[in-house]
Amino acid sequence: MKKLGKSSKKGFTLVELIVVLVILAVLAAMLVPALVGYIDKAKAEKEYQTAATVYGAAQATVTEMYGRDVITGGGSIANGTATYGKQVTDLAGVDTNAVTAFSFDYGDDFIITGGTVTINSHTYTLTITNGVPKWTAA
């Protein structure tokens, strides 16, 4: 026999559902800014790594050109330099749409002494002190 007057339905009330949604909204509001910071930091780190890759490819290109007696000591290599600029970006395997400019100076010993790399409109400057490369963002 059924009881009259009392409902046997089970479920959540509207107030309980609203409380859960408010809690989720507060958690999301705290999480989104933290994630945006991590994403920006990861993009910057990727650009630093790309700049370092271009530097390594430029050093390899200078070394190769010296080995073929194509260049003399003390000079520079840049993305606008004849075929050498393309050789650097090809060797580095970077997106030429992202790496819009680079320029490195090398000494009489054919070792790169400094330079700049522009990636996605951000310029990174390379300084080398006692053989230790250091990148700074402009």
83-118 pLDDT per residue, tens: 677 888 888 888 888 898 999 999 898 899 999 999
Q: Residue 90: what pLDDT?
A: 87
What's the pLDDT score for residue 138?
A: 78
Return the SS3 of 76. Answer: strand
The pair phi, psi for residue 73, each rounded to 5°, is -65, 145
Give, as one character, the DSSP assignment of residue 54.
Answer: H
Spell out the residues 6+ positions from residue 17 whose beta carbon is closer than 8 angstroms to its own.
Answer: none
Domain boundaries, the chain: 17-137
Strand order of the β-sheet with 122-129 is 75-78, 99-106, 112-119, 122-129, 132-137
Collect the ranges in the chain with pLDDT lower than 70. Answer: 1-8, 80-83
